[in-house]
């Protein structure tokens, strides 16, 4: 680890020294150490501009396409699912879960649909884009948790009403879940002592807003991201490192300081 990184980690540890509440905002970068590519999503799916069928990938993975051609949307959802189900959480997810058990109040707002935060032990998770492991019926209240799509027909059907099943995720053109957005704003209203943004370009307003709000209020902000993002210019500490290495180093040094 370079001296500059070491000094920045010391600053983060200083922030944590007087903190009792933390917010982590995570994107695809935190799952990179689990083998999931970071380019716009899971599985490298969006490396192509147009699908084999001639649709922009955003259209193939849209709520409208799920309604009119569910077999097409499911073809590409299955690619995302295979990538997520074949991997597991990493040290970065573990550290956040351990911090949740240590500090008075820790919440994680994640864009990821891989479910790794909960698998690692975090309980206070706002998975604003949903979770690929959760299937729901498009017509009735049936729900099912799965660990793979391999045994499912494409598109899968509800065993209770024969309607199409879909992952409980936000597709392109769909609204964010109201309950999750309300939860986010309740927690933001309660305030946090430190706000971390980890492995996300922060292009969505609801992902950048908590960082911008914290910066405006004088709350310490930390970005962990090897690249630049839409909030890099406003954070107090910018750690140009991989998420797992950075979070592990921060946690180790903090524990050494307090024990």
Q: Is the pLDDT of residue 230 over 90?
A: yes
Question: Tokens representing 122?
Answer: 């975090």
Average pLDDT over residues 56-84: 92
> In which band, very low, low, confident or very high, does the pLDDT at 41 lie, cut at 50, 70 and 90?
very low
Q: What is the reported pLDDT for 79?
A: 85
Cα 69–chain centre separation: 27
Q: What is the reported pLDDT for 46?
A: 57
Average pLDDT over residues 148-175: 94
Q: What percent of the chain has pLDDT over 70?
A: 95
Question: Tokens representing 199?
Answer: 């492995």
> In which band, very low, low, confident or very high, does the pLDDT at 43 lie, cut at 50, 70 and 90?
very low
Average pLDDT over residues 203-209: 95
Q: Could you say which of 5, 129, 133, 216 is catalytic? A: 129
d(CA 249, CA 238) in angstroms, rounded, equals: 14
List, in order of start, the domains of the chain with CATH numbers: 3-35+89-129+175-258 (3.40.50.1220), 42-86+134-169 (3.30.1600.10)
Q: How far is CA 228 from CA 14, 32, 68, in A?
A: 24, 16, 38
Q: Could you tell me where the beta strands, DSSP code E, fall in 90-191?
A: 105-110, 125-127, 130-137, 143-145, 165-169
Please list the alpha-helical segments (H only) found in 69-163: 70-85, 91-102, 116-120
pTM to 2 decimal places = 0.94
d(CA 227, CA 29) in angstroms, rounded, equals: 10
- Three-state SS for 23? strand
Q: What is the reported pLDDT for 47?
A: 58
Cα 214–chain centre separation: 19
Q: What is the reported pLDDT for 231?
A: 97
> Are 43 and 253 contacting, i.e. CB atoms less than 8 angstroms apart?
no
pLDDT tens by residue, 72-126: 999 989 988 888 898 999 999 999 999 999 999 999 999 999 999 999 999 999 9
129 catalytic? Reply is: yes
Pairing of strands 221-224, 237-239: parallel
């Amino acid at each position: 680890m370079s001296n500059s990184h070491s000094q920045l980690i010391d600053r983060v540890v200083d922030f944590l020294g007087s903190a009792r509440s933390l917010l982590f905002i995570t994107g695809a970068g935190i799952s990179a150490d689990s083998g999931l590519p970071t380019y716009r999503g899971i599985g490298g799916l969006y490396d192509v501009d147009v699908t084999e069928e001639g649709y922009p990938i955003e259209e193939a993975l849209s709520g409208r396409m799920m309604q009119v051609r569910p077999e097409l949307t499911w073809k590409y959802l299955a690619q995302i699912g295979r990538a997520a189900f074949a991997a597991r959480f990493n040290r970065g997810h573990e550290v956040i879960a351990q911090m949740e058990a240590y500090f008075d109040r820790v919440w994680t707002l994640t864009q990821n649909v891989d479910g790794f935060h909960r698998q690692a032990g975090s309980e206070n998770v706002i998975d604003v884009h949903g979770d690929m492991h959760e299937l729901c019926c498009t017509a009735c209240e049936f729900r099912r948790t799965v660990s793979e799509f391999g045994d499912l027909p494409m598109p899968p059907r509800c065993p209770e009403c024969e309607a199409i099943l879909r992952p409980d995720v936000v597709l392109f053109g769909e609204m964010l879940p109201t309950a999750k957005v309300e939860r986010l704003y309740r927690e933001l209203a309660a305030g946090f002592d430190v706000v971390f943004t980890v492995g996300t370009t922060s292009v969505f307003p609801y992902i950048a807003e908590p960082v911008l709000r914290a910066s405006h209020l004088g709350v310490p902000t930390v970005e962990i991201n090897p690249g630049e993002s839409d909030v890099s210019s406003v954070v107090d500490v910018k750690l140009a490192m991989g998420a797992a290495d950075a979070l592990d180093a921060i946690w180790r040094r903090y524990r050494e300081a307090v024990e």
